[in-house]
Amino acid sequence: MPDEEPIFSSIQLPEPDEEKKKIKKKIVKKKRTSAKTSKTITAEKAKDQEMNKQLASIYRDDRGRLPDMKEIDMRKSHPFLRAIFIILFLGVLLAGSAWVGFFVLSGGNKYSDEHVSLSVSGPAGVTAGVTTTYVIKYKNDQSIALQTTVLNVQYPEGFVYVSSEPAADNAGHTEWQIGNIAPYKQEEISITGLMSGAINQKQSWRVLLSYQPENMNSKLQKTSIFDVVVNNSPFSLAITGPDKAVIGNDAKYVFIVKKESDTQLKQLQLKPAIPANYYITSSSPPLDKDGAWIIDTAKKTSTSSAILDNWIFKLGGKFSSSSESNVNMLADLSSAGNGIRYNLAQSSITTNLLQNNLDFSLAINGSMENFNSQPGDTLNITIYLKNLNTGDIKNASLKLTLDAPSANKQSIINWSQITDDKDGDIKGTQVSNSLRRGEIVWNKTKLPDLATMAQNDEASIDLRLPLKDVSGFPLSDLTSYKINAIAETTFTDEAGMVHTFSSNPIIITLNSDLKFEPRDSVSEDGQAHQITWVLTNNLHPLKNIALSADVYGDVSFQSDTTTPAGQLVYDEKTKKISWTLPEMPESVDVLALPFTLTLNKINPSQDMLMSKVHVTADDAITGEKLDFLGDEILLNR
């Protein structure tokens, strides 16, 4: 094997002095470490000694001796029990964390009623008939969503809905199906309409929001109320008339309606409240059947001024004698649309009445005031005049005026059958399609007492006027049901002045011509009475009809057939028969109720089987109550 060449390292070998220095540094470092370790051991020994002292103070008995640790029984802990303890500890810790998270960390997911708001905003005071807009705002100011939300609105009385944004979900425009309201979401509904109502009368918006929070199973509600008042009228009303009026002389009044601001009200009603002793002789334009004028704000009336926004109405009449020295003429202006009336304006004027030194009066059927009558009745009329002046009155005349319902230009008053021993002059005038005026005049040629009447002289006239019934007059064609009656006297005083004075006016209301007839068919032995109660009616429909009568003697009651209408009751204890009917329409003119009364024992001293029948009913047109007695049923021996 050939000789190998030596290999030399390229790393420079340390110098002998440098090597010695490194070794010396290691020795110094080791000594420092040993010293540090020695100090640490010394500190630990000091701690152990201190701990021993503390333990000795704890475990040394009263005699100063320490227990022998070798005699103490040391037991090892069981690993399974320790595991169970650790698991229980961790479970409690986790449960506590969960409860803390529920009550603390989830506080934002808890529902709060205070965070649901609902409000209504808009004008609190409005002018009647003016378009107004109200805004309903609702807000969910929390992290919980509201589900199946519905909003309902109850409008103020007199509010007429026009539009809304968004549109309502029902035909009455009162309900909105909102659905879900997201957390921290606010929305609104704007509603526009016309507000009417009595002036200064408070009304209210009532809004209800029903919903279900997403973390609850029950429905909750939120309500809001907003009060509004109609505090302004778009129209004004004024009345002009005499401050003083002599009883019996003409007294005229003017009613002025003026539009003060824009409004959507299309129809108005102006109704004067006529004093009881004021008799209307003229009306321009004519009053309707309800004693009112209807104003179409988009049209002029025949008597309106040139300005479209003004309407003028006139009344002419006379005052009769009264115990009051002052009377008030009043009038109410109201909206007349939608079937509901709201007062818009009111005005009045006071007139002082001056006496005329006459005792002049009119009486019909013994009454000097208003009363009710029926077709077929007779009017017994008395006109009385007495001169209370200190001087004579001359060339006096008396006139009776009767304005009565008419059909086909024929009055319901049967003037052809008048009974008048003074033979006054009669004149007829068709006032309107439904009203005919009859006038009868007596002067000194008819009644010589009227030529000259000294102080305290008297003159009177008596007459009879029958009313037509269904047999000779088309009652169903009538559209008015009142007779207005007044008397008038004209004379010349000692100074040559001509005066005309009026009596007290009387209004006769014509109710329906309800009639009752009891029919009695007796068996051959006289014991069985087949009775039929018959009702006839030809003018107005009736309501709340009731008939009752008492039965006498020892009898048995039997209803022959099913009651044709209403309810038939016989009380065996009180022996009272009653028949009640809720209505009798205009299409029904006859109702008959049959029943049988049989005498179980004949009483020779008994002469009446059934008392007079008490009949009551309400006239559905006039609103008056009919109350009268029908004939009794006698026992014919």
Q: What is the CATH number of the domain that holds 128?
A: 2.60.40.10
Query: How confident is the model over 466-523, as pLDDT tens digits?
Result: 999 988 899 989 988 999 999 999 999 988 988 888 888 899 999 999 999 999 999 8
Instruction: Please compute the mean of the pLDDT values over residues 45-65 and round it to a whole number.
Output: 60
Provide the pLDDT for residue 267. 85
Percent of the chain with pLDDT over 90: 53
Confidence of residue 340 (pLDDT cuts 50, 70, 90): low
Residues 385 and 451 in one domain: yes
Provide the pLDDT for residue 342. 80
Query: How confident is the model over 226-284, as pLDDT tens digits?
Result: 999 988 888 999 999 999 988 878 899 999 999 888 888 888 899 999 998 888 888 99
For residue 543, is it left (φ>0), alpha (ψ between -120 and 50) or beta? beta
Structural domain contains residue 106: no
Residues 523 and 600 in one domain: yes
Residue 602 has pLDDT above 80, yes or no: yes
Provide the pLDDT for residue 601. 87
CB 369 within 8 A of CB 261: no
CB 183 within 8 A of CB 139: no
Angstrom distance (rounded) from CA 110 to CA 149: 19
- How far the first Cα of the chain sits from its last, in Å, is 186
Q: Which CATH number is 555's domain given?
A: 2.60.40.1170
Residue 573 has pLDDT above 80, yes or no: yes
Q: Which two tokens stand for residue 305?
A: 């001024």
Provide the pLDDT for residue 501. 85
Residues 325 and 225 in one domain: no
Angstrom distance (rounded) from CA 294 to CA 285: 10
CB 388 within 8 A of CB 452: no
Structural domain contains residue 83: no
The residue written with tokens 């003083």 in the block is 244
Q: Which residues have C-beta within 8 Å of that of residue 169, sequence separation ≥ 6?
A: 175, 176, 177
Residue 183 has pLDDT above 90, yes or no: yes
Q: Which two tokens stand for residue 264?
A: 């959507």
Structural domain contains residue 623: yes
Angstrom distance (rounded) from CA 581 to CA 585: 11
Provide the pLDDT for residue 237. 93
Tell me which residue of 545, 539, 586 sits closest to 563, measured CA to CA: 545
Angstrom distance (rounded) from CA 263 to CA 232: 11
What is the torsion angle, in degrees rounded to the nearest 10, for the CA atoms of residue 281, residue 287, residue 293 and residue 294?
A: -160
Q: Which two tokens stand for residue 204?
A: 């209210």
Residues 334 and 392 in one domain: no
Containing domain of residue 566, as a range? Answer: 515-634
Type of residue found at 438: G
Structural domain contains residue 27: no
Angstrom distance (rounded) from CA 216 to CA 258: 59
Structural domain contains residue 306: yes
Q: In a 10 Å sphere around its CB, with 0-12 CB exposed, 13-18 middle and 19+ buried, how is residue 525 labelled?
A: exposed
| Report for 2-6, 273-277, 370-374: range of highest mean pLDDT | 370-374
Residues 338 and 276 in one domain: yes
Provide the pLDDT for residue 629. 94
Higher-confidence position of 467 and 66: 467
Instruction: Please compute the mean of the pLDDT values over residues 91-101 and round it to a whole number.
Output: 58
Degrees (nearest 5) of the Cα angle 504, 506, 512?
175
Structural domain contains residue 68: no
Residue 36 has pLDDT above 80, yes or no: no
Q: Domain end: 298, 327, 354, which one? A: 354
Q: Which residues of 75-104 are buried (b: 16+ CB within 10 A; e: fewer)?
A: eeeeeeeeeeeeeeeeeeeeeeeeeeeeee
Residues 367 and 478 in one domain: yes
CB 339 within 8 A of CB 277: no
Q: Based on the structure, what is the number of domains in the chain? A: 4
Q: In a 10 Å sphere around its CB, with 0-12 CB exposed, 13-18 middle and 19+ buried, how is residue 497 labelled?
A: exposed
Provide the pLDDT for residue 420. 96
Residue 13 has pLDDT above 80, yes or no: no
Residues 350 and 365 in one domain: no
CA gyration radius, the chain? 54
Residues 488 and 442 in one domain: yes
Residues in the chain: 637
Angstrom distance (rounded) from CA 195 to CA 143: 39
By three-state DSSP, how is residue 91 classified? helix
Angstrom distance (rounded) from CA 176 to CA 613: 59
Instruction: Please compute the mean of the pLDDT values over residues 562-570 and round it to a whole number.
Output: 84
CB 129 within 8 A of CB 263: yes
Provide the pLDDT for residue 64. 57
Angstrom distance (rounded) from CA 355 to CA 501: 10
Residue 100 has pLDDT above 50, yes or no: no
DSSP class of 525:
T
Type of residue found at 489: T
Residue 383 has pLDDT above 60, yes or no: yes
Residue 101 has pLDDT above 80, yes or no: no
Torsion over CA: 53, 58, 64, 67 (sign): negative
Provide the pLDDT for residue 90. 72
Provide the pLDDT for residue 8. 46
Angstrom distance (rounded) from CA 83 to CA 68: 32
Query: How confident is the model over 392-423, as pLDDT tens digits?
Result: 999 999 999 999 999 999 999 999 999 999 99
Query: How confident is the model over 422-449, as pLDDT tens digits?
Result: 999 999 999 988 999 999 999 999 999 9
Torsion over CA: 549, 552, 558, 560 (sign): negative
Provide the pLDDT for residue 300. 57
Tell me which residue of 390, 414, 386, 391 sits closest to 402, measured CA to CA: 414
How many angstroms separate the most distant Cα atoms in the chain? 197
Structural domain contains residue 57: no
Angstrom distance (rounded) from CA 254 to CA 245: 15
Confidence of residue 365 (pLDDT cuts 50, 70, 90): very high
Q: In what order do the strands lie in the sheet with 267-273?
A: 244-246, 342-354, 326-335, 267-273, 293-296
Query: How confident is the model over 197-211, as pLDDT tens digits?
Result: 778 888 899 999 999
CB 154 within 8 A of CB 134: no
List the helix and strand counts (H, then E) for the chain: 2, 42
By three-state DSSP, how is residue 515 classified? strand
Higher-confidence position of 31 and 514: 514
Q: Which two tokens stand for residue 432?
A: 């309107």
Angstrom distance (rounded) from CA 318 to CA 397: 17
By three-state DSSP, how is residue 207 classified? strand
Provide the pLDDT for residue 30. 52
Residue 11 has pLDDT above 90, yes or no: no
Provide the pLDDT for residue 413. 96
Strands 567-571 and 528-536, sheet pairing: unpaired
Q: Domain end: 168, 201, 232, which one? A: 232
Residues 374 and 499 in one domain: yes
Structural domain contains residue 29: no
Provide the pLDDT for residue 106. 44
Q: Which two tokens stand for residue 618?
A: 């309400």
Query: How confident is the model over 312-326, as pLDDT tens digits?
Result: 999 998 887 777 889
Query: How confident is the model over 134-157, as pLDDT tens digits?
Result: 999 999 999 999 999 999 999 998
Provide the pLDDT for residue 32. 55
Higher-confidence position of 511 and 308: 511
Residues 442 and 499 in one domain: yes
Angstrom distance (rounded) from CA 625 to CA 23: 142
By three-state DSSP, how is residue 390 classified? coil
Residues pairing with 419 in the sheet: 464
Residues 334 and 362 in one domain: no
Residues 119 and 173 in one domain: yes
Q: Domain end: 184, 204, 232, which one? A: 232
Residues pairing with 581 in the sheet: 545
CB 381 within 8 A of CB 399: no
